[in-house]
Structure 1
Amino acid sequence: MIEPTLVYDDDCGFCTWWADYFDDRTAIRIVGFSDLPDHPDLQERLPEHYEECSHFLTEGARYSCGASIEEALRRYDENGPVGNTIEFLRNFEDYGQIREWGYRQVADNRDKWGQVMSKTPPARQTADDR
């Protein structure tokens, strides 16, 4: 059985900041791309070009790109305002396209966002950072 898992680019400071945010506040397992060889059960469930975005895996589903962050946020605040807003927005036909457009805008500008929110990625950490 696969526990809810966020798979992310652990060579990105902005991505690492978000992964740590979820790790500190949820029961979601966090796995970086560089750790996937140690998790063949996860890697086989990812799309061919999985490095293009983050993924959220559950026992019965795979959420990719914007849907992955959306699902992690929904689980972070399942019965709160964030979770309720996500559930509400999912009722609109164009919401998925808008969500993915927003994800791509942020993902394609991670270097700029990383100037505001960033953490040394595991793939770049030295012994002093650990």
Structure 2
Amino acid sequence: MRDTVLVYDDDCGFCTWWAEFFDERSDVPIVGFSDLESDLEDRLPEDYERCSHLLTPEARYSCGASIEETFARSSVGRPLRPLVDRLRRYDTYTTLREGAYRRIAHNRAVWGRVLSKTPPAREGESTEASIE
């Protein structure tokens, strides 16, 4: 069993951009939905494909909490860890965090025009239209 891993939608260019951002700035490995092995899938909620998840030995962080916790473990976010820990004590903050995650997730096609990488699940796909 892997200790800590970020599980994300590897069929989404915007999601892939963020996953690779964290992969380059932390020691948290990333795994796409298309590459899930049973040991990881067993640790995820039934509807896991609705958002990203950070799995640790102690907890499962989902949706906005997964991005927040992965950020706090990254070289960029580590200095902000005390602030993140304090903010988590407030329901208003967690409501805002999850609302922001949902808003961005529902508009990831728009965000993907600005921040995007070829998703691993789509690598090797032909971009040419096929004639039948």
Q: TM-score, normalised by structure 1?
A: 0.89
The yes-or-no answer on 1:45 pairing with 2:43 is: yes
For residues 34 and 3 of structure 1, the distance between their equivalents in structure 2, rounded to whole angstroms, comes to 19
* CA drift at 1:86: 1.3
Instruction: Show the counterpart of 1:114.
Output: 112
Give the conservation status (yes or no) of the 8 Å contact 1:14–1:114: yes
Q: Summarize the alignment of residues 21-40 of structure 1 with structure 2, pairs less than 5 Å apart.
A: 21-36=21-36, 39-40=37-38
For residues 68 and 4 of structure 1, the distance between their equivalents in structure 2, rounded to whole angstroms, comes to 11
Runs of 4+ aligned structure 1 residues displaced above 6 Å come to none
Mean CA deviation greater in 98-107 or 69-78: 69-78
Structure 1: runs of 5 or more not aligned: none
* CA drift at 1:94: 1.5
Q: Summarize the alignment of residues 5-84 of structure 1 with structure 2, pairs less than 5 Å apart.
A: 5-36=5-36, 39-77=37-75, 79-80=78-79, 82-84=80-82
DSSP-derived class of the 2:65 partner: helix
Give the conservation status (yes or no) of the 8 Å contact 1:3–1:29: no
* Residue 102 of structure 2, aligned match among 95, 104, 113: 104
* CA drift at 1:2: 2.8
Give the conservation status (yes or no) of the 8 Å contact 2:8–2:52: yes
Q: Deviations over 1:20-74 (max 9, x none)?
A: 01111111010000001xx211100101111000000001210110110011011
* CA drift at 1:6: 0.3
Structure 2: runs of 5 or more not aligned: 126-132
For residues 35 and 49 of structure 2, the distance between their equivalents in structure 1, rounded to whole angstroms, comes to 13
RMSD: 1.7
Q: Aligned partner of 1:76: which letter?
A: S
Give the conservation status (yes or no) of the 8 Å contact 2:71–2:78: no
What is the identity percentage for the equivalent residue pairs of Structure 1 and Structure 2?
56
The number of residues matched between the two structures is 125
DSSP-derived class of the 2:91 partner: coil
Give the conservation status (yes or no) of the 8 Å contact 1:19–1:30: yes
